[in-house]
Homo-oligomer: A and B are copies of this chain.
Amino acid sequence: MSELQPVDVVGIGNALVDVLSHEEDDFLDRIGVVKGGMALIDEERAAAIYDLMGPAVEISGGSVANTMVGLVSFGGSARFLSRIRDDQLGLVFAHDLRAAGVEFDVPPATDGPASGCCLIVVTPDAERTLNTFLGASAHFGPDDVDPASIAAAQVLYLEGYLFDTSEAQAAFRAAAALANDSGTLVAVSLSDGFCVERHRDAFTALIEDHVDLLFANSEEITSLYEVDDFDEAAARVRHCGTTAALTRGAAGSLIVTESDSIAVPAVAVERVVDTTGAGDLYAAGFLYGFTHDLPLGVCGQLGSIAAGEVISHIGARPMVSLRDLAADILD
């Protein structure tokens, strides 16, 4: 275990290549999905939706993978655990992650489902709607959780999306328990309001038992507590025993601890092009600050800077150095 390079954060999440096209609003009705949400789809439906989509761009994604890339862009260090197939999209995913400086040593599977992809429809309001074919990612299980990788990190970061398969949910719990045992802090993103709805009790139990740092947007946190109002959800999260970073789009974020509430403004963006990855990159900035012992308010500021960068262009990974963007704060 001691041979592994220590890292700031080890992430566990889905390995997905994003397939993005621009469509009008009525396209969402035609394929029967809710704007801004994430729907899990099988291979057949993926083919059917893809057929209807306009010309697309392929660019590596996956929520926690995006966060790991952002963390490295700030100057941090990260490792990623997931499952890919030995196909062209798997190769693309692995290449882009390693080329960005994230440790990713998992050998591709030589059989089973194809590498996963996420069909992303970007509407004229820059909102993104996700249709995810998990593919190989769906088979991430407890055996894929490498204890040495967990122990070698300050923080384990898990995506709520993983809760959608029972195998991955088991892996999620195994990883969190290993982290607790080895003194690695556990951070979780709720990922999606519908995902929270599907697995509310499991999420609540996990947060109480294992989680030190919780990321959620307003839709997710109100869904978790089944309340209508953000302020009510924020009051509830204060007493759940974790630090929570709650994002609210253009309204910035609210960081809640048992004793404190810190409001952090969003970074103004000239033109919002594609909100894909906004939450992932907020988490990247926050986790960089958190693992470098910066005050929580500064963690939130770094999150705002990273989110502001990623929504100003197509794709969910930064196109410039986040370290440079945050030079005023970090250098």
Residues of B with C-beta under 8 A to A56: 92, 95-96, 99
Contact of A92 among B51, B58, B96, B100 (CB under 8 A): B58
A7-B126 Cα distance, complex, nearest whole Å? 35
Within 8 A of B (CB), among A67-99: 69, 87-89, 92, 95-96, 99
Assembled-state Cα–Cα distance A114/B91 (Å): 14
Q: Select which of B21, B51, B69, B88 is within 8 A of A87 by beta carbon.
A: B88
B99 touching A55 by the CB < 8 A rule? yes
Which of the residues B55, B59, B99, B114 comes within 8 Å of A60, measured between beta carbons? B55
Q: Given A50-B95, A95-B50, is A55 in contact with B89 using a C-beta cutoff of 8 Å? A: no
- Expressed in whole angstroms, the Cα–Cα distance for A269 and B51 within the complex equals 34
Q: Which of B57, B69, B87 contacts A55 (CB 8 A)?
A: B69
Q: Is the CB of A51 within 8 A of B95?
A: yes
CB-based contact B58/A57 at 8 Å: yes
Tell me whether A124 is interfacial, beta carbon within 8 Å: no
Bound: A87/B96 CA distance, A: 20
A317 at the interface (CB under 8 A from B): yes
A315 to B314, CA, bound (A): 12
Bound CA span A114–B60, Å = 21
Q: 1/0 per position for A31-63, CB-CB distance to B under 8 A? A: 000000000000000000011011111111000
Q: Establish whether residues A54 and B99, one from each chain, have CB atoms under 8 Å apart when the complex forms.
A: yes
Across the interface, which residues of B come within 8 angstroms of A60, CB to CB? 55
A contact residues, range: 20 to 34
A58 CB contact (under 8 Å) in B51, B58, B99: B58
Chain B residues within an 8 Å CB radius of A87: 87-88
**Interface 1/0s, chain A 9-43, versus B by CB < 8 A?**
00000000000010000000000000000000000
The answer to whether B55 and A317 touch across the interface, beta carbons within 8 angstroms, is yes
Most buried by B among A55, A56, A317: A55
Other A-B pairs beyond A54-B99, A56-B96, 19, CB < 8 Å: A21-B99, A50-B95, A54-B100, A55-B60, A55-B69, A55-B100, A55-B317, A56-B92, A56-B95, A56-B99, A57-B57, A57-B58, A58-B58, A58-B59, A58-B92, A87-B88, A88-B88, A88-B89, A88-B114
Q: Which 5 A-B pairs have the closest CB atoms?
A: A58-B58, A88-B88, A55-B96, A55-B99, A54-B99
- Chain A positions within 8 Å of B, measured between CB atoms, are 21, 50-51, 53-60, 69, 87-89, 92, 95-96, 99-100, 114, 315, 317
22 A–B contacts, CB within 8 A, in A order? A21-B99, A50-B95, A51-B95, A53-B95, A53-B99, A54-B99, A55-B60, A55-B69, A55-B96, A55-B99, A55-B100, A56-B92, A56-B96, A56-B99, A57-B58, A57-B59, A57-B315, A58-B58, A58-B59, A87-B88, A88-B89, A88-B114
